[in-house]
Structure 1
Amino acid sequence: MQNFLIYLAIVGIMLQAGCGTMYQAEQTTPPFGSSVRMALKSQTANPEAGSDAPVVGIDGKYAAKAAEKYQAGPKEKEQRESGSTFGVVGGQ
């Protein structure tokens, strides 16, 4: 009887240790504030990372054309081009 109780205690300890680690909830998202801590560490590691170089943007002609298209608004259905992006022609 004493051996049975020892075996039962050992099995109970093994189950508790095994199941306790097996059913822990996985953390799928990073901890709250980790992006701020990472930014602070990277600034500490290289505080001179930024420079006085001019900001490079898009071409002026392209920007003007994009602004015109934005101001014009969406095209009507019959005004839209019926071209294909991937070379596949299909019905609607």
Structure 2
Amino acid sequence: MSNNVTLYAFDAENGDCLLLINNNTGFSILIDSGPNKKIVSERLITSIKNVLINDFIDLAIITHNDDDHIGGFKSFLKKDITINNFIFNSYDYIKK
């Protein structure tokens, strides 16, 4: 067992929002962002800011384009959560 990486599984109601943080380097990976629901997004933003080592997220991975996985990203970016890189596996949705 190693304590170098911490996994946070945030309550996103019916969605998903996971954050991995390397405790040695601060490198962070956000997986999904929960739904586009104001009360959920605000709670997630607060939770994420409370545990980030750096003032930004290094990488966000979007697993697919259902609202309960991608809906919160717009709110995150509006509330000054900087995300340096994205991986998004839906080519058809990129233009939208």
Query: Which TM-score applies when normalising by structure 2?
Result: 0.18
Query: Which TM-score applies when normalising by structure 1?
Result: 0.19
- Higher Cα Rg, which structure: 1
Structure with the higher fraction of residues in strand conformation: 2
